[in-house]
Amino acid sequence: MHDPLTSSAALLDHPADTTFVAETMSGRGDVRVIFAGPLLTPDGRNPQVRTVWRLDAARNAYFVTAVPLTQIPA
- Does the pTM exceed 0.85? yes
| 38 domain residue, yes or no | yes
Residue 51's pLDDT is what?
A: 98
| 61 domain residue, yes or no | yes
6, 11, 2: which is closest to 64 by C-alpha?
11
Q: Averaged in consecutive runs of 10 residues, what is the pLDDT profile of the chain (74 residues)?
A: 85 96 90 96 93 94 95 66
31, 10, 12, 11: which is closest to 22 by C-alpha?
31
Number of domains in the chain: 1
Residue 38's pLDDT is what?
A: 96
> Residue 21's domain spans which residues?
4-68
Residue 71's pLDDT is what?
A: 75
Residue 53's pLDDT is what?
A: 98
Sign of torsion over alpha carbons 63, 52, 37, 18 = negative
